[in-house]
Each structure stands twice: as structure tokens, then as C-alpha cells.
A and B are shown apart, each in its own frame.
Chain A
Amino acid sequence: MSVELPQGLAQAFSVAAGELGMCCAAWLYVKDVARFAGDAGVSGLRDALGRSFPVLDAVAEKWLAGSREPHTDPGAVLGALAGTRQLVVVGLESEFLDALIPKLEGIRLALLRSSPFEVDWERVLSNYAGRVELVELERFQSWAGPRSTLLTFAYGVHGAGTHVMPAWLRVTGDDVRTQFRSLVAWDVLRAPMFVYPRWLVEVDAATFTELV
């Protein structure tokens, strides 16, 4: 049975992906479509948007395989951040940050102002009640130090590689790698992508001090 989806979904998803993160926006869309149109709707969503948004494609696949929620437990990340005093986050996944940030007492937090999508950064920051600062690519090294960590979101691990937002490569040049104690990736997708991973870049998992 084919399900008719509303027009303009791709544009709307771009906005959601910019302000929630690709994985969180994908879960939101998949759950909403499933609520109104069941698995057939999720299949239709995957057919309509999956090639354009590979993370959405992977989340839809997970849903159809029986998965119902993203794995947002920050326990492993908290372990990787032990001893950190300053944290710069590269990329955005709102539900994951919502789970993590309340547990980061005493840690100064920054979010890199960089996204392939249009983002209203003030609106994003307003979700964190002054807890998170914005930092530009030109200035994020002022957050470097022996107790500083760079954190990004990874989208599935496949063999020795994983996928991250391109900003991660701009940030973690050879000069920066030795100025931050830890380079941590948080795998928010936990599944390999089936279609070409546009929007993302592949990196060697060994380039992180921890991938959790």
C-alpha cells in the first residue's frame, strides 16, 4: 500500500536537521509518520527522502527492523569526558545533548557555529538556558588546554571507519589534535548507512581518542 506524504517534506526536514541534528530530526520524522501511517508510511518516507538524507534512511531502516527509540544514554560519553573542564561540541544532536548536558556539572561548554544547514543559532542556544556558548571556527582554539575535549557525533561505524560532519575535519587539523586532551566521537546512529552518506565525511575511527 502506498502512502501519500505531504509536499515540501525535504525542505522541512532540512530545517529540522539544522536545529535538531540529522539523527534527532530523523527519529522525530520517522516516529510521527509511523504514528499516522504505520510502517508503510515509514517505507514511503524512506523512499521519498532517504537518498537525500542518509541518516533518515538509516533511522527508517532501524524503525522497520523494530527499533523504536534512539540510544541517548550518555553514560559512555561521561566516562570519556572524565576530568574534562572545557568541552567544545562540533555538530548538533539535540536529544543527545539534552541527555548529556545536565550531567556535565562544572564543565564549560561551547558549540561550534557551523552547519551545512540553515540554523537559527540563537534559537538553538536558547534551549540551553545560558549553559552553552557559541564559538566560531576562527576562535575555538581559545578553548584548548590539557583538560579540554572536542566532541562530535558519529553516524554509524563500519569496519575501521565512521562518518562525521565535515566541520570535524576543519577543526581537527594536526595543530589542534595536540591542543585538546581528548577527541571523542559519540555514535548516535549505531547502524551503517545504506545509501551514499551525503552531508557527511568518512574518517578513520582510530583518529579519535575514544569512539563511544
Chain B
Amino acid sequence: MPPRPPHDRHLPSSAISRFVDTARIEALLAPYLPAPQERAFVVRCVLGEGPAHHRGANYVLLSLLGLVLERVAHGDREALDLGASQEVPMRLPPHLARPDDAPSYPLPLPSAPLELLARKGTRDFEAMVDCLTDGPPQHALANVAMVTLLADLLARLPESPEE
């Protein structure tokens, strides 16, 4: 049996902030967010805001995806065309909603990976988009960044193992 996690003891948040390397994630997302200010905004939302354990978890998962991408892409990090995408809306208070001009985050959600799971336009597809983009930005944008990296990976891999 694997050892049980120590539920009664947590590491201090400084231990988390020590391993979170913002520059690494900025570099990882640079092909999808070429404008430095937009990239810094998204990375701040994912690694610099919200509870410390989310920041740490986002860093670990994005870094691991980055390592996989590095092995698959063999150093080629030119931006691929990831195809159609969905906007990631900011969740403003309902009384300030602007249906015709709703602000959204600069990193959109690529549709291609979700289309492997559900046909675009179906209720299932829309529900998947909703699940990935709802909630606080440190969740939503981390989801979107991960799907973006997965989209990049999938675009570089053969469609079947035989190819």
C-alpha cells in the first residue's frame, strides 16, 4: 500500500513559492501568447493568485506537460496553428455583465482536443467548454493552458500508433 499523505501536517507556503518558477511557464506559453503583457497576465493568474496549493499544482502539471512537449517537439517550439478556439470569459459580477462586449482572457481554449471527445456544437461539447472555463481564473486559465499544451502535443503526434 502506498504511504498515506500526512493530512494533519502541511508544508509552509514558502516551500511552495520556492519551487514555482514563473519564467519557466512564461517560456512554455510564449508560442501561444506572444505579447509579453498578455503572457504575464495569464501566468500571474495561474501562478501568482489564489491559494498556494493551486499555484504549486498548476506549476507542476504545466511543467510536466512542457517536458512531454519538449520530447515530442524535439526543441521545435514554433507556434502551431491549433485551429478553432473558444473565448475564456472573465466572470464579472452579474450586474455588470456586458453581453455584447464581455471581456475575455487573452488565452483561448482550443477546440480540437475536445472534438476528439464530443462533436462540436453538441450539448456535451458545450458542457466540456463550460467545465474547463468556469470558476476562478487560477482554475480556468490553468485548464486552458493545459488543453493548449495538449492540443499542441496532439497536433504533433500521429493519429494512430501505427503511423
Contacts and interface: CB of A to CB of B under 8 A. Distances in A.
A83 B96 contact: no
A148 B103 contact: yes
A168 B117 CA distance: 45
Interface residues of B, number: 21
A148 B35 CA distance: 15
A139 B35 CA distance: 28
Interface string B82-123: 000000001011001010000111100000000000000000
A212 to B, nearest CB: 15
Taking each of B40, B41, B136, B137, which has the highest tally of chain A beta carbons within 10 Å of its own beta carbon? B41
A83 B92 contact: no
A145 B90 contact: yes
The secondary structure that dominates the A interface is mixed
B14 interface: no
Nearest to B51: A174
A206 to B, nearest CB: 9
B160 interface: no
A134 interface: no
B35 A83 contact: yes
Contacts of A178: 44-45, 49, 90, 136-138
Contacts, number: 45
A11 B126 CA distance: 60
B103 A145 contact: yes
B103 to A, nearest CB: 4
A39 to B, nearest CB: 45
Nearest to B137: A178
B50 interface: yes
Contact of B92 (A142, A146, A174, A182): A142
A138 to B, nearest CB: 8
Given A144-B90, A145-B90, A174-B50, A181 B37 contact: yes
Contact of B104 (A139, A142, A146): A146
Contact of B103 (A177, A179, A182, A209): A179
Nearest to A84: B37
Contacts of B37: 82-83, 181-182
Contacts of A177: 49
Contacts of B137: 178-179
A83 B106 CA distance: 13
Contact of B40 (A148, A179, A209): A209
A14 interface: no
Interface of A: 82-83, 139, 141-142, 144-146, 148, 174, 177-179, 181-182, 209
23 contacts: A82-B37, A141-B92, A141-B96, A142-B92, A142-B96, A142-B98, A144-B90, A144-B103, A146-B105, A148-B103, A174-B49, A174-B50, A178-B45, A178-B90, A178-B136, A178-B137, A178-B138, A179-B90, A179-B92, A181-B37, A181-B38, A182-B41, A209-B44
Given A144-B92, A178-B136, A182-B41, 16 more contacts: A83-B35, A83-B38, A139-B96, A141-B92, A141-B93, A141-B96, A142-B96, A142-B98, A144-B103, A174-B49, A174-B50, A178-B44, A178-B137, A178-B138, A209-B40, A209-B44
